[in-house]
Copies of this chain bind each other. A is one copy, B any other.
Amino acid sequence: MYGKRPDMTVHQVEPYNAEPPRSALVGRAITPVDAFYSRNHGAVPVGELATWSLRVEGLVGNPGSWSLADLRERFAEHTETATLQCAGNRREGLVAVRDIPGEAPWGPTATATATWTGVRLADVLAAAGVSAGATHVEFLGADHCPEADPPQEFGGSVPLRKATMPEVLLAWAMNGEPLPPVHGAPLRVVVPGYIGARSVKWVDRVRVLDGPSANFFQASTYRLLPADVTPTGTPGEGVELGLVAVNSDVLQPDDGATVPAGPTTVRGYAFAGGDRTVARVDVSTDGGTTWTQAELEEQASTWSWRHWSATVEVPTGEVEVVARAWDSSAALQPERPEHVWNPKGYVNNSWARVHLTGA
């Protein structure tokens, strides 16, 4: 379905929401498109795209509409390697603490990395002429999201400071191939270092604003609420998500695997958004009393995840392998999912844990 591997875990068929098995991500700096998770709130638009163009409007001196050919002709092409991570990544670890009704129990593979090719949003904004007083840039898609209240297109915004950074792209290609429909063709936003939700697919409007977007997916969801609050969907409640906190998980062996007792190489990924990179990963088999430092592969770019591996001794019987990452701000993942549990189940960045049996 949608060109994905047959072994995807499909959380929802329509709109399509799916993530690959852990093994599909092991050791690959760039995720093949057929293994790249897909998170959608509306069906892939089709008819809406027949007359597609990108409208740039709001607090700009020169509003206008751009075809894909216009964008290619007018602006320099750039490619950036960037990891996208869904804010719901690793929600299953929170669901294990307390149920989260109505939200899919995403595992650790709603995180993936591609090369993205397109034009810099900064260049398009410069051509449009951003007016004084602008603070945010809003992206709106061509899709329809019935779950929104009221139903509306998917959208969101980022601060103008981020929007004008060279890494933020309007992209038409992924891993060197034309963007597939399920990933946002003909054009999507790629905001490296931010939750995947801000990289709006099928983008047909870029609006320069004097505040954050009022779109449902910015103002009412993708917000972190305290554990003791019941979400009401009231715009503005809780903390708006955007930048990605340091996170990691184990990709191999799989959780629940039986492995030969003795030295076992554990492999995984770590990711830190914003202006941070992955600085260190530790692995423990005694619940965090002692730690082995993992070997880190290079980050393909400032905006990408970092794969890691560590060889640990797996005893005969059951063992919990724990991993934790540090970012370049010396931030460490928090220990327990209980501490980060929140009513919508976002941003589980507690220590990674897989349970192995040594035989």
Contact = CB atoms under 8 A, between A and B. Distances in A.
B227 A330 contact: no
A280 B331 contact: no
Number of copies: 2
B335 A274 contact: no
Nearest to A330: B347
Interface stretch (A76-84, A99-107, A238-246, A254-262): A238-246
A324 to B, nearest CB: 8
B329 A224 contact: no
- Overall SS of chain A's interface: loop
Contacts of A328: 239-240, 242-243
Interface-centre pick from A228, A326, A329 (highest chain B CB count, 10 A): A329
Report the contact-size class of chain A (Cβ under 8 Å from the partner): 35 or more
A349 B245 CA distance: 15
B332 A335 contact: no
Contact of A291 (B227, B240, B336, B340): B227
A354 interface: no
A104 to B, nearest CB: 19
Interface in A322-353: 326-336, 339-340, 346-347, 349
A290 to B, nearest CB: 8
Interface in A217-254: 224, 226-228, 239-246
A242 B329 contact: yes
Contact of A332 (B288, B293, B330, B340): B340
Given A226-B282, A335-B335, A330 B288 contact: no
Contact of A331 (B245, B275, B288, B335): B245
Contact of A274 (B275, B333, B339): B275
Interface of A: 161-162, 224, 226-228, 239-246, 273-276, 279-280, 282, 288, 290-291, 293, 326-336, 339-340, 346-347, 349
8 interchain residue pairs of minimum CB distance: A243-B329, A245-B331, A330-B347, A239-B279, A245-B329, A274-B275, A332-B334, A275-B275
